[in-house]
């Protein structure tokens, strides 16, 4: 019988790495820091350095933080609901807040 090309323990290690990678993508975790990519506004306050959620809402109203798919803020309300459930994409929001204000597009 021929010896396997990859030792059994190495194969197990590779499978474990791949499973962790797929699970972290499914759960929305950053691979580098293992922190959630999206957070509800109440929890995003601390991550973005705001003092209160009302400051985030003011930045959303002014257009600094944009709402929509592939934007800094995502509305995840259930179908048929009126009250919005906003989630902040932390990496995108940090990038947007760090941009030079003269180079930002508001829409």
Whether residue 70 sits in one domain with residue 99? yes
Angle of helix 53-62 versus helix 41-48 axis, rounded to 10: 90
The DSSP code sequence of 14-51 is HHHHHHHHHHHHHTTB-TTT--BSEEEHHHHHHHHT-S
- Give pLDDT tens digits along the chain (107 positions): 677 787 888 888 889 989 988 888 777 776 565 566 899 999 999 999 999 999 999 999 998 999 998 899 999 999 899 999 999 999 999 999 998 888 776 65
Range of the domain at 16: 1-34
Same domain, 102 and 60: yes
Split into its structural domains, the chain has a count of 2
Q: What is the pLDDT of residue 31?
A: 58
93 and 48 fall within a common domain: yes
- pLDDT at 25 (0 to 100): 79
pLDDT computed for residue 3 by the predictor: 73
What is the distance, to the nearest Å, from the Cα of residue 25 to the centroid of all Cα atoms in its chain? 10
> 45 and 69, same structural domain?
yes
Question: In the numeric block, which tokens belong to residue 101?
Answer: 């204000």
Looking at the fold, whether 42 and 25 belong to one and the same domain comes out as no
């Amino acid at each position: 019988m021929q010896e396997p090309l990859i030792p059994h323990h190495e194969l197990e290690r590779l499978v474990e790495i791949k499973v962790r990678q797929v699970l972290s993508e499914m759960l929305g975790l950053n691979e580098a820091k293992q922190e959630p990519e999206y957070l509800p506004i109440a929890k995003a306050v601390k991550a973005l350095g705001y003092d209160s959620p009302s400051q985030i809402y003011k930045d959303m109203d002014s257009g600094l933080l944009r709402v929509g798919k592939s934007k800094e803020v995502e509305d995840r309300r259930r179908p048929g609901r009126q009250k919005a459930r906003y989630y902040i994409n932390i990496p995108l929001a940090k990038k947007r807040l760090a941009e030079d204000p003269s180079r930002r597009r508001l829409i």
